[in-house]
Amino acid sequence: MATPKIRYQIIVNIISFLFMVLWIYAATSKLLIYEEFQIQLSKSPFVSKYSPQLVWIIPLTEYILAGLFLFSKNLITALYSSFSFMVLFTLYIVAILNFGNSIPCSCGGIIAQLSWKEHILFNVTFILLAFIGIVFLKRKKRIQS
């Protein structure tokens, strides 16, 4: 039978893997449709002014987040950063849905096929995963002490 420490580590590893896949997929899909991504950002009611910079900053940040998960010493930073980034994305979607005139989707790949409700549910799921990862990582460290 696995000890709680091992169970926590397995769950944190699964969550870390899911975030790595998410961030690499999201960044790569945006760069593969770079021009379309840039156009969508330029149509966004809240960030259009910053779209020339964001078109590079967002995928770069997503790659950096994925990279943070590769090193155990950065795991808590990766989870907190992923949590924050997903909350920010979700708040952005909610703001656009409630206050924007147009609703451009600057997501790439499969995620762009989601309805707005599904997109928010997807984001909330990853927010919860990050939260669970943070809690379990802290519990694991407490057990080790």
Average pLDDT over residues 81-86: 98
DSSP-based three-state secondary structure for 15: helix
Does the pLDDT value for residue 82 go beyond 70?
Answer: yes
Which pTM does this prediction carry?
A: 0.90
Question: pLDDT tier at 104 (50, 70, 90 boundaries)?
Answer: low
- Report the amino acid identity of residue 111: I
Give whole-number Cα distances, 129 to 12, 60, 137, 143, in Å.
9, 22, 12, 21
Does the pLDDT value for residue 111 go beyond 80?
Answer: no
- Give the pLDDT of residue 105: 64
Give whole-number Cα distances, 56 to 17, 45, 51, in Å.
24, 18, 9
Give the gyration radius of the chain's Cα atoms.
17
